[in-house]
Amino acid sequence: MDALKVELGDRSYPIFIGENILTQSNIASFVSGKQVMIVSNETIAPLHLQALVDQLAGLQVDQVILPDGEQFKNLASVELIFDQLLEKRHNRTTTLIALGGGVVGDMTGFAAACYQRGVNFIQIPTTLLSQVDSSVGGKTGVNHPLGKNMVGAFYQPQVVVADIGFFSTLAKREVAAGISEVVKYGLIYDADFFVWLEENMQAIVNIDPQAMSYAVKRSCEIKAQVVAEDETEQGIRAWLNLGHTFGHAIETHQGYGNWLHGEAVAAGTIMALDLSCRLGWISEELLARTKAMFEIAGLPVLPPENMTEDDFIQLMSVDKKVLEGKIRLVLIKELGRAIVTDDFDHDLLKQTLAIAK
């Protein structure tokens, strides 16, 4: 089992990574009170809930099982968590445990941030995407019909347990959706990791344990470093949103859950690289290499054909990075280095928005 640390002073916490480590990670030692509320979904609970409950003997363990899907990442679902917490008389010393993918993790963290003005929570991410990105760093929240992740809070967990054994029951489409976030770390931060990913992409798609462990570990190392430097996204943390401004627009336009987050990020990343290329910052070769990896993973490399330029502009204008009415984008300056900027030729952006036409 590998152990990393997110260094945030007295809110620092470990990330444990390995195969079949749920029983080794001593989850109960991160529960400070006597009550636990497990939040999971209808797909994950039948597969993995009992193994977690077995680790919590001697505690009051309650559960709320939500429907599965991005379309349920809303305040109504968070309210179901509050209903259970109150019905089962959970007090301020309770610990919420998220057992699921990014949707479960984001909503559980948000419920923990709000319940009785803040209680502890633990992340047990079960998808590739949630292990390499959303479970680490304390971004929590829900979607609004007018924009992705528009209601939320920064709120850090007590521990993250990233067990790659969960991937044996993960749908291929979900594995692919996590790969776009893994490739992101190479593009924005670590050129060597990008090259390693090119060499090992088929092994990752095949969920080879050694390749997958390294991919998750290196991604979490980079995420932990970036979050330690810039917890509330005043600077470098925004790099982690490569492809997300385009991607969030796609998810919102297509209806939450129709494109998986990671699929929309893949198409969005290609759009960000396309614009970086048009600006003369990166070569067509880097764009082609990234596309090739996404294609091996079965990820989309073009936005949906039914989205117009105006659809994009309208939806991208409610992005959280918008400043003084200007769309700001994460673009790539060179392999391993990103930039957040509103200083680009809007005619070039229009050409990028039209690449599927």
Name the site residues for ligand GLY (rule: CB under 6 A): 133-134, 137, 139, 237, 240-241
237 is catalytic: yes
48 is catalytic: no
User: 48, 73, 90, 139: which is the annotated catalytic residue?
Assistant: 139
The first and second tokens of residue 66, run together, are 């939500």
Pick between residue 137 and residue 141 the one whose CB is nearest to ligand GLY: 137
The distance of closest approach from Cβ of residue 45 to ligand GLY in the complex, given in angstroms and rounded to an integer, is 25
The distance of closest approach from Cβ of residue 134 to ligand GLY in the complex, given in angstroms and rounded to an integer, is 6
Burial 60-75 (b: 16+ CB within 10 A, else e): ebbbbbbebbbebbbe
Pick between residue 124 and residue 240 the one whose CB is nearest to ligand GLY: 240
CB 190 within 8 A of CB 218: yes
- Which uninterrupted H or E stretch holds 2? strand 2-6
> Concatenated DSSP letters for 8-27?
-GGG-EEEEEESS-TTTS-G
**Residue 269 φ then ψ, to 5°:** -65, -40
User: 90, 248, 289, 328: which is the annotated catalytic residue?
Assistant: 248
User: 73, 217, 261, 328: which is the annotated catalytic residue?
Assistant: 261
* Alpha helix positions (H), 45-130: 45-54, 75-87, 102-114, 128-129
The distance of closest approach from Cβ of residue 101 to ligand GLY in the complex, given in angstroms and rounded to an integer, is 13
Q: How far apart are CA 224 and CA 8, in angstroms?
A: 10
The distance of closest approach from Cβ of residue 150 to ligand GLY in the complex, given in angstroms and rounded to an integer, is 14
Q: How far apart are CA 32 and CA 34, in angstroms?
A: 7
Pick between residue 61 and residue 183 the one whose CB is nearest to ligand GLY: 183
The distance of closest approach from Cβ of residue 328 to ligand GLY in the complex, given in angstroms and rounded to an integer, is 15
User: 174, 181, 221, 263: which is the annotated catalytic residue?
Assistant: 181
Pick between residue 134 and residue 252 the one whose CB is nearest to ligand GLY: 134
Pick between residue 55 and residue 135 the one whose CB is nearest to ligand GLY: 135
The first and second tokens of residue 120, run together, are 């502890």
The distance of closest approach from Cβ of residue 189 to ligand GLY in the complex, given in angstroms and rounded to an integer, is 13
> Concatenated DSSP letters for 42-64?
TTTHHHHHHHHHHTTTTSEEEEE
- Which uninterrupted H or E stretch holds 268? helix 261-278
223 is catalytic: yes
User: 70, 233, 251, 263: which is the annotated catalytic residue?
Assistant: 233
Pick between residue 134 and residue 219 the one whose CB is nearest to ligand GLY: 134
**Residue 140 φ then ψ, to 5°:** -130, 160
The distance of closest approach from Cβ of residue 240 to ligand GLY in the complex, given in angstroms and rounded to an integer, is 4
User: 41, 120, 143, 241: which is the annotated catalytic residue?
Assistant: 241
248 is catalytic: yes
Q: How far apart are CA 326 and CA 317, in angstroms?
A: 8
233 is catalytic: yes
Q: What residues contact 159, with CB distance under 8 A and at least 6 apart?
A: 13, 14, 15, 16, 25, 27, 30, 122, 123
Q: How many CA atoms lie within 13 A of 224 on its CB side?
A: 22
Pick between residue 53 and residue 236 the one whose CB is nearest to ligand GLY: 236
User: 48, 148, 218, 244: which is the annotated catalytic residue?
Assistant: 244
70 is catalytic: no
241 is catalytic: yes
CB 259 within 8 A of CB 304: yes
Which are the catalytic amino acids?
117, 139, 181, 223, 233, 237, 241, 244, 248, 261
